[in-house]
Structures are given as C-alpha cells and as structure tokens.
Amino acid sequence: MMNNLFNTIVVAVLVGTVVMTPLPQPSTPSVASLPPATVSTSSAIDSAAAKAAIEAYGYSEVSVLVPGTDGTWRAKVYRGATEIQVTVDGTGKVSFQ
C-alpha cells in the first residue's frame, strides 16, 4: 500500500513538472541579424517601395520620407521608442545613419 502511494506521488510530481515547465519564447531579431530588404532590382524605387523596405526591417512610424537626388530615400523612423534616421538605396537596401 505504501509502495503504491509512493509511486503515485512520484508520477504526479513528474507529470506536474512537465506540464508546468514554460515553453521557450522566440526572441525578437536585432536589426543587425535581419537580411537586407530588397524591394526592387531597378536603379530607383518609389516612396511606397522605400516605406515597405523600411517596415520589412522592423522599423515603425515612418515619417519625413524624402527622396534624394541619387535615387535614395531618407526617413525618420522608430525602433521601439528610439528615433532613428535611415536611408534606402535604389535597390531597397536599408541602412541607418
């Protein structure tokens, strides 16, 4: 009788440990680990493509999107609560200044 009680307690503890173990949560990738966002292979992109490339990098609140004379786009964006200035080249590659 004591052996059955002991075995039942051990099994209950093991099952409870497995059930209560938290699952690992995926981490948010850093900007450095993101692949280059390529929107177009042409030498110039429009404002919609530049904004899409910026958002693909995980930036938000894209504002002050201004075209450059060399086919690039400059924008003020946010990464979390941090304001960052970024540039998008003619192929859609995003870099921060």
Rounded to two decimals, the pTM is 0.53
Residue 74: predicted pLDDT: 93
Amino acid identity at 29 = P
Number of compact structural domains in the chain: 1
DSSP 8-state assignment for residue 26: P
User: Any idea how long the chain is?
Assistant: 97
What distance in Å separates the CA atoms of residue 89 and residue 43, rounded to the nearest whole number? 9
For residue 54, which phi and psi values (nearest 5 degrees)?
-65, -45
Which pLDDT does position 42 carry in this prediction?
46
pLDDT digits (tens, 9 = 90+) for 23-72: 665 555 555 555 665 444 445 788 899 899 888 988 888 888 899 888 89
Among candidate residues 43, 42, 59, the one with its CA nearest the CA of residue 94 = 59
CB 76 within 8 A of CB 69: no
Owning domain of residue 20: 2-96
